[in-house]
Amino acid sequence: MKPVGIFRTARTEGPGYFATYLDRRGIPWKVVALDAGEPVPREARVFSGIGIMGGAMSANDDLPWIPPLLELLRSAVRQDVPVIGHCLGGQLMSRAFGGAVSVNKVREIGWGQVRVAENGVAREWLGSLPAFETFQWHGDTFSIPPGATRVLEGDHCTNQAFALGKHFAMQCHVEMTPELIRAWLSTGAEEIAAHRTSPAVLPPEEIEKDVEPRLERLHQVADRIYERWTEGLSRGN
């Protein structure tokens, strides 16, 4: 089986629980370290699926790897290679598929509730789950691209996830681990301090409160999403 290509934009934005899930299922994966200058492959079919992780940059930034990555995502749709995006990854998917990325009305950092949309596509991905607590760290938001369906929504950011066939884009972070949270709190301390007036930015002590049980519940949701997504992986060599 070809590996899942996991595209990383920063060393602190690793695959986290996404890799844990793939390992548990015996699904091979390979990190493409964009932050280390690794080139974006031109051919989507070298992977069984493509996962895009988060990053501090904007999907609208003038970075050399963004145009070829957008084209790779479009190629993946044409070639039936499933794509999944986390935060920045979801924003890049929206851009690639004809949507837009803009500044959100407030910054979101820390834990927050999202609701499962009332439509059949959302139920295909998340069953009867009505809502759940997830992790957020973003200042931008994406629009729902043509042909896609909103799957998750929130009070502070309306578009929290969309699905387009076997492709799934998230604004929120279901891939979090204790290690990722500690790293982000360390590197993002100034950002939290600068946006404490936002109603959706939590102080570090609240973010760290009950982190293990919170992550256990979040990973149960991630399992549902990743299970549905991996059903679409190419099983050939």
**Is 236 strand, coil or helix?**
coil
HSE of 144, CA atoms in CB hemisphere, 13 A:
15
What secondary structure letter does DSSP report for 197? T
Residue 235 pLDDT > 90, yes or no?
A: no
* CATH no. of 4-230: 3.40.50.880
The domain ranges of the chain are: 4-230
HSE of 117, CA atoms in CB hemisphere, 13 A:
18
Handedness of CA 44, 29, 100, 167 (dihedral sign): positive
Mean pLDDT of 78-107: 98
Mean pLDDT of 152-172: 98
103: amino acid identity, one letter: V
Mean pLDDT of 92-98: 98
What percent of the chain is modeled with pLDDT above 90?
98
